[in-house]
Chains A and B, each alone.
Chain A
Amino acid sequence: MVDFEFFREIIFPRLLDGTLMTILLIVLSLLPQVLIGILAAIGRVYGNKIISRLSLAYVVFFRGTPLLIQLFILYYGLPSIGIYLSPVFAAVTGFSLCGGAFQSEYVRGAIQSIKKGQMQAALSLGLTRTGAILFVILPQAMRRALPGLANEITYLVKYSSLAFMITVIELTGAGKIIAGRYFIYTYIFTLIAVIYLVLVTIVTRIQKRLEARLSYPGIVTGR
């Protein structure tokens, strides 16, 4: 079994480093992911034919191919055309692009659920379409999309472990190294599973807080 000394000296510091790296990957990917999702959704719904098609092509590619393959292309493939990304940067880029494709579908659904009259009322006041999207449509759509967005973030927490496949020593990677060296697989991976569960729980908590804070009378929350 694992004694306390061993835990304090070996396991704890390495898993802590791994956890911090995982959190770094999540935090760095989160904002770009949501922003890309919003832009792609707006492109799909409001863009002209070219922009709309481009947005669709982006979604089809990144939603339809394995994230691992995307990461391999970014990290192992791009050097062949002279582009060298650091492992962390390649991972964050992959997570942002892949997650953004899923996020855009949540946002698109939310935008399309807003009554047509909202846009027309905004236009009739003299807002431009961009102004109407920014000040009337998105504030409502993003609130409706929030459960979906948070859902994708919980996926992000978990698929961040794929970064290990392109040499980023995050939580799963750090765990695998210790587990393999000391033959304590069950112990380490159970511990790691619990850490992921804690991270996901934090995301869910933040989602609930945000939903409560952003809700207004009459919004459809499903509660």
Chain B
Amino acid sequence: METNNGPVLRVENIHKSYGDNHVLNGVSFDVHLGDTKVIIGPSGTGKSTLLRCINHLDIPDSGKIYLNGEEVHGSRKDISTYRRQIGFVFQDFNLFDHLTALGNVMLGPVRVLDMDKEAARELAFVELDRVGLKDKAELYPAQLSGGQQQRVSIARTLAMNPRLILFDEPTSALDPELIGEVLGVMRDLALSGMTMVVVTHEMGFARSVANEILFMEDGKILEQGPPQQVFYKPELERTQRFMHKISELYGNEDSL
């Protein structure tokens, strides 16, 4: 493993516009091994775009991304080798519809890592077990609940043994009673030392699991710090107002 103590991920001054719409206006932050960073902020402030820029699903207009000290850039093929090291969990799961849960988890190891099918199968069972879905291995996405689909997608990402995982509002498309099972898996991951960057509106999760909160608005990080500070003693009045609104909406008690 790495012996250097540099950040796993360094995001440096990322800008991204769609036409006249400046979505990201110079975002920078570091993620160290084992960090769980939670990005919060009003809708439409570029949180998802930021995640998508990190693994180049969207190409930033300027700025740099470093993964373990290496700049993420180059040909399409180079980008693919970075992407395999960065897990991505989507808001709407995006499981491959034509494959079973097992097939979904096996695809990456077989097609990207050239693992032989038997080994990939065993690995897939291990990862499905980790998200509590070993008994659903033979079911297709259409036969799974939203929460189960999202847990399979997490298993699919884990099978690639990523250096860090990006979560893009992983519970926003779920019925309220299914959110808990996904957050539970994510919390276990964080506790097991997985490096994670999470965009979410789940304040209970943010408070209890994150070691740092990034508050974003208008394509910039306005404030960042440990949950205790950002939640209870925010420096900016804007952060205060957002926190107040959110706690009115979701209640103040920890949901996890």
Is there an interface contact between B76 and A125, defined as CB atoms closer than 8 Å?
no
Give B63-99 as 1s and 0s: 1 = Cβ < 8 Å from A's Cβ atoms. Answer: 0000000000000110011011111101010111110
Is there an interface contact between A126 and B57, defined as CB atoms closer than 8 Å?
no
In the assembled complex, how far is the CB of residue B143 from the closest CB belonging to chain A, in whole angstroms?
Answer: 5
Is there an interface contact between A131 and B112, defined as CB atoms closer than 8 Å?
yes
Is there an interface contact between B142 and A126, defined as CB atoms closer than 8 Å?
no
Is there an interface contact between A218 and B108, defined as CB atoms closer than 8 Å?
no
Q: How far is the CA of A202 from the CA of B107 in the complex (A)?
A: 35
Q: Given A124-B83, A126-B112, decide whether A218 and B94 contact each other with a Cβ distance below 8 A.
A: no
B233 at the interface (CB under 8 A from A): no
Q: Given A128-B77, A217-B140, A218-B140, decide whether A118 and B90 contact each other with a Cβ distance below 8 A.
A: no
Q: How far is the CA of A218 from the CA of B149 in the complex (A)?
A: 13
Q: Give chain A interface residues in 90-140, CB to chain B under 8 Å.
A: 115, 117-118, 120-129, 131, 135-136, 139-140
Q: Give chain B interface residues in 145-198, CB to chain A under 8 Å.
A: 153, 156-157, 160
Is there an interface contact between B143 and A124, defined as CB atoms closer than 8 Å?
no
Q: How far is the CA of A126 from the CA of B82 in the complex (A)?
A: 7
A219 at the interface (CB under 8 A from B): yes
Kindly report which residue of chain A lies nearest to residue B87, judged by CB atoms: A124
B55 at the interface (CB under 8 A from A): yes
- Chain A residues with Cβ under 8 A from B97's Cβ? 118, 140, 216, 218-219
Query: CB < 8 Å: which of B80, B92, B142, B160 contacts A117?
Result: B92
Is there an interface contact between A143 and B98, defined as CB atoms closer than 8 Å?
yes
Is there an interface contact between B90 and A120, defined as CB atoms closer than 8 Å?
yes
Query: CB < 8 Å: which of B57, B112, B139, B153 contacts A127?
Result: B112
Kindly report which residue of chain A lies nearest to residue B89, judged by CB atoms: A124
Query: CB < 8 Å: which of A121, A128, A217 contacts B76?
Result: A128
B141 at the interface (CB under 8 A from A): yes
In the assembled complex, how far is the CB of residue B156 from the closest CB belonging to chain A, in whole angstroms?
Answer: 7
Is there an interface contact between B57 and A124, defined as CB atoms closer than 8 Å?
yes
Query: CB < 8 Å: which of B76, B94, B95, B107 contacts A120?
Result: B94
Q: Give chain B interface residues in 183-230, CB to chain A under 8 Å.
A: none
- Chain B residues with Cβ under 8 A from A124's Cβ? 55, 57, 83, 86-88, 90
Query: CB < 8 Å: which of A131, A143, A218 contacts B111?
Result: A131
In the assembled complex, how far is the CB of residue A191 from the closest CB belonging to chain B, in whole angstroms?
Answer: 43
Kindly report which residue of chain A lies nearest to residue B81, judged by CB atoms: A126
Can you offer 8 A-B residue contacts whose CB atoms are under 8 A? A120-B57, A123-B57, A124-B83, A124-B90, A125-B112, A126-B83, A126-B108, A126-B160
Interface residues of A (CB under 8 A from B): 115, 117-118, 120-129, 131, 135-136, 139-140, 143, 216-219
